[in-house]
Structure 1
């Protein structure tokens, strides 16, 4: 006999944080304004025909020309076909990643009265705490609380470790696009680029088949490095585009799902250019792709502000800056 889904509650309480809602005594169904999917099958994911690619950072930085060339080709294929890949031998200590996840859990378990000081007045404030994505624009909310930190003096070791991983990946990506090894890093002034630390908290959910942790979307910026606890829940779609490569490489559409057994925590380190940088593909790359630009050049600060001020909706932001035929 098939399991039945608990009916949704029709009341719509004031939105403060999902954690507080999830801890409501005897909660066995979610409010209707958290039901993102109309049928449980919409939340179902299928296994890909091919396994998600894995990039070995040691091989990508190898002194052996053959090993490095092969790794660069594999990285380019992963960017073009998937827009997503796992990284091994990245050099970030396991203890550091564990400490970051534990510190994140400690923050979300602070008393609720201590959190409002981190609620933002605008989307570019250095520290932002909130729920869903943008409750001012949304009619249906994500089953998610978040903390965003524009990393400056904060988290210095994790910041530098992830920046080093991005630095090495971008060298390989540049080569895979037939550019000079450091061309993307130089063009975006990687050493002074913006990093945003995003901590996501997805508590247990009584209706995981209709709720969503984070709606399908693609990230702003350049590369996002993500770690998570053992809760799982990140799903990707096998299609998309990436502005800086003029559409050749993908910015994958992905979503976060929730479950009714355990809390999921993920840490995303978004790496982009400086806020004042104008983002556009290098001239050489445009020439290699037929001399036609696919996207309007835009200052990253303006792109980021527009992305954060609107409702999260697939690749809607990319479409706003796409040059129409």
Structure 2
């Protein structure tokens, strides 16, 4: 598995700028064109890892309409496929999810409009820490990371209370509709995952307090990078929460780590990409692994992705589901979901996996 990226050594002399000097990668890229990138963004040490392109077509596809079918055998088969996808891959694509193509396009268009606002207009949403309901910023963890990442982001807490920027016009309304529809899809997936573990369909929802759980709506922007061989949009990481549901524009860049190989994710039209996240690994007692993934860059096109992280209730104590550890040892500590964020920040600052901090023994 790839080790955390370190700063790239080079004899070239790009601008002596740091992430603290760059409040927006988009603005920097627009102003500097094809100029060399700052050395503080060198996150690739020895060129790109080999990519196992032959495995890209093996990423599982779940037909949501079969998962919700009233036909017992069709539903059972879909549940089995869902469990296999979680156990063997930690990522899958969901088709026939019922969210209209029109709404998905509207969300993407409004997300573009937000990132195209002048820098001055976005300053009111400046990042004031992980509990700020609306925050716009850049990189991954700029206050503590040694190397920075080529992306701008908007992060909004949209459940259990809905927050959203008031501009551009119409973004808030479209985002509300989309976030609720994504939440409904995530809820149904969680029911199927619960069944795949041999539990009652509502078991995981009730155990995690999902119906009062945290949802984070993220809009990532990755402008063209003049030196994509040197930089990443996001480093290898896993997600917080139970399930991340992602939609992107037509530009590739998401890679997942499977059997210690990086694989490009090539989404089917209008599908949702679903990642198993940290808390689902914990509650399943390691049966379903949180997927390591990263964002690579290109020098021609702007990539946008809209992941929504769907997690437990903040005050819930999260550990392995009791029914799953009746005949086996628990592999993870039990920790309040709110406290997990503190562990997450410390682990990322130390270039560790947050799940390593939660594992027993």
TM value normalised by structure 2: 0.83
Q: Secondary structure at 1:266's aligned position in 2?
A: strand
Distance 1:196 1:98, change over 3 A: same
| Contact 1:34–1:140 under 8 Å retained in 2 | yes
Q: Secondary structure at 2:306's aligned position in 1?
A: strand
Gaps of 5+ in 1: none
* Residue in 2 that maps onto 1:175: 195
* Residue in 1 that maps onto 2:127: 120
| Contact 2:15–2:36 under 8 Å retained in 1 | no
Q: Secondary structure at 1:115's aligned position in 2?
A: helix
* Residue in 1 that maps onto 2:331: 294
> Is the counterpart of residue 282 in structure 1 residue 321 in structure 2?
yes
* Residue in 2 that maps onto 1:80: 87
Deviations 1:241-261 (A, max 9, x none): 711111110110000111111
Distance 1:91 1:181, change over 3 A: same
TM value normalised by structure 1: 0.92
Deviation at 1:185, TM superposition (A): 1.0
* Residue in 2 that maps onto 1:246: 285
1:31-110 alignment to 2 at 5 Å? 31-42=38-49, 44-49=50-55, 51-110=58-117
* Residue in 1 that maps onto 2:17: 12
Deviating more after overlay: 18-27 vs 269-278: 18-27
Deviation at 1:156, TM superposition (A): 2.4
Deviation at 1:64, TM superposition (A): 1.2
Deviation at 1:214, TM superposition (A): 0.4
| Contact 2:347–2:357 under 8 Å retained in 1 | no
1:77-226 alignment to 2 at 5 Å? 77-151=84-158, 152-154=161-163, 155-226=175-246
Deviation at 1:133, TM superposition (A): 1.3
Gaps of 5+ in 2: 1-9, 164-174, 260-275
Deviating more after overlay: 75-84 vs 154-163: 154-163
May I ask how many residue pairs the two structures share in their alignment? 317
Instruction: Report the aligned-residue RMSD.
Output: 2.1
Deviation at 1:117, TM superposition (A): 1.3
Deviation at 1:39, TM superposition (A): 2.0
Deviating more after overlay: 80-89 vs 131-140: 131-140
